[in-house]
Amino acid sequence: MRYNILPFGSLTSWISETKLPHCSRNIASWLYDHNSLTKKLESQCNSFYVVIKQQVTVKPNCLPYTFFKSEDKILVREVFLYCDNRPVVFAQTEIPFSTITEQQEELAEIGEQSLGKILFQDPSMLRGQIEVTEFKQGSLFHQLANDLKQSVDHSLWARRSLFYLNNKPLLVSELFLPASGIYKND
C-alpha cells in the first residue's frame, strides 16, 4: 500500500548540530533551540492548536527513507501546528511500534494534542542531537507552502531530532513554514 507521506528523510542531507549551516542568526536560533517548540509558539500567538494531516501505521519497506529501517511497524503522524489560525510548522513523527509500549502507549492516541507537551513533561525524556536542512526554492515543501496559501521566495528550513522516552526512540522532524517567525529579519 502506498501512503501520501511526505518524504522528509529522502529529499535532503541533514547537517549535524556541530556544523552550523549558512543561515541567519534568527533562523539558527529557532533551529537549534532545545526547548519546547510548542511553548515557544504558544508565547508568540493568542491561539495555538494542532491539526492532524494523517496518522498511519506502515512497514519500513513502504517508507524507504525511514529512520527506523529494522522495525516491524512504524506509526507516522503528520500534523500542522497553527498559530492564530495559520499553519506555521509542518511536523512529522516516526514512532517505532517497539516504542509504543507500557507508559508510551498514549503516543498512539494523542489525537490533536501537542506531542511537544507530552515529550517535555515526561521526566524520562532525553533529546538527541538536532540536525537541520535547507530546502531550496522549488522543493516539495515549497509546493506544500503554496498549497497552504503561503507564498515563499526563499529557502525553507527544517530540523529533526531523536527523542527518547524511557530510552525508547521516536523521531520528530519539523518544517518551518513561511508564516512562522523563523524567517523574520532574514
pLDDT score, position 2: 44
Question: Does some domain include residue 13?
Answer: no
Q: What is the CATH number of the domain that holds 138?
A: 3.40.1410.10
Q: Which residues of the chain have pLDDT under 70?
A: 1-3, 8-11, 18-21, 63-64, 186
Q: What SS3 state is found at 150?
A: coil
- Answer whether residue 75 is part of any domain: yes
72 within domain boundaries:
yes
Residue from 111, 87, 104 nearest 163 by CA: 104
Please tell me the predicted confidence (pLDDT) of residue 6.
Answer: 72
Could you give the number of structural domains in the chain?
1
Return the amino acid letter for 164.
Y
- Which pTM does this prediction carry? 0.91
Range of the domain at 175: 25-181
In a domain, 177, yes or no: yes
- Cβ–Cβ < 8 Å for 155, 135: yes
Phi, psi of 158 (to 5 degrees): -140, 160
Contacts of 61 by beta carbon, 8 Å cutoff, 6+ apart: none
Residue 34: which of 151, 132, 168 has the closest Cα?
A: 132
> Is residue 160 packed enough to be buried (19+ CB in 10 Å), middle (13-18) or exposed (0-12)?
buried
Which residues, other chains included, contact 146 with Cβ-Cβ below 8 Å and sequence gap of 6+? 152
Which cell is 130 given? 538536532
Q: Does residue 104 lie in a domain region? A: yes
Q: Is residue 135 part of a domain?
A: yes
Would you state the pLDDT for residue 105? 78
Cβ atoms within 10 Å, residue 100:
19
For residue 33, being part of any structural domain is answered with yes
Angle (CA) 3-87-177 rounded to 5° is: 80
Structure confidence at residue 71 (pLDDT): 76
Q: Is 116 helix (H, G, I), strand (E, B) or coil?
A: helix
pLDDT (0 to 100) of residue 15:
83
Residue 121, in any domain of the structure? yes
Return the closest-CA partner of residue 78 out of 139, 3, 165, 28. 3
